[in-house]
Amino acid sequence: MTAWVAAYEEAWRASDADAVERLFTPDATYLRSPYDVAPLRGHDAIRGFWTADRGATFTVTAEPVAVEGRDAVVRLEVRYLAPEEQEYRDLWVLRFAPDGRVEHFEEWPYWPGRSYTASDGS
């Protein structure tokens, strides 16, 4: 699992969509948030989403939270430095295929500093 996360980060840093694609099964599902109505499905959809975020300068720290069988949860802290400074904390819920590629990816993003309530504070 840690090797997969490291390979994903390396591909992300290199803006290498082919390398990202190789990390997923051909029919993989990818939920960008737990509130997505339908997941992205397959290499073309994942590649299209992933390449939209190219060229950003960032730092990332990842640590495993839980691993059981083919399932894993990873906690990440990502700081984008350019083009705009942003900070995110995510949980990735991963299901691995027997060959080590991911067949299901679910992201639970959190943006520190944003309100926890439905109101805008006014």
Of 9-13, 38-42, 52-56, least confident by mean pLDDT is: 52-56
pLDDT beyond 70 at 19? yes
Residues 74 and 66 sit within 8 Å (Cβ to Cβ): no
Q: What does the domain layout of the chain look like in residue ranges?
A: 2-110
Instruction: Read off the pLDDT of residues 46-72 as tens digits, 9 standing for 90 and up.
Output: 998 887 766 678 889 999 999 999 999
Using CB atoms within 10 A of its CB, is residue 74 exposed (0-12), middle (13-18) or buried (19+)? buried
Instruction: Read off the pLDDT of residues 74-118 as tens digits, 9 standing for 90 and up.
Output: 999 989 887 778 888 999 999 999 999 999 999 998 887 765 555
Q: What is the DSSP letter of 32?
A: S
Rounded to whole angstroms, the Cα distance separating 73 from 102 reads 12
Across residues 19-31, what is the average pLDDT? Answer: 97
The pTM of the full predicted model, rounded to 2 decimals, is 0.85
- Report residue 4's pLDDT band, with 50, 70 and 90 as the boundaries: very high
One-letter amino acid for residue 95 of the chain:
R
Q: Which fold has domain 2-110?
A: Nuclear Transport Factor 2; Chain: A, (3.10.450)
Across residues 19-34, what is the average pLDDT? Answer: 95
Rounded to whole angstroms, the Cα distance separating 55 from 13 reads 8
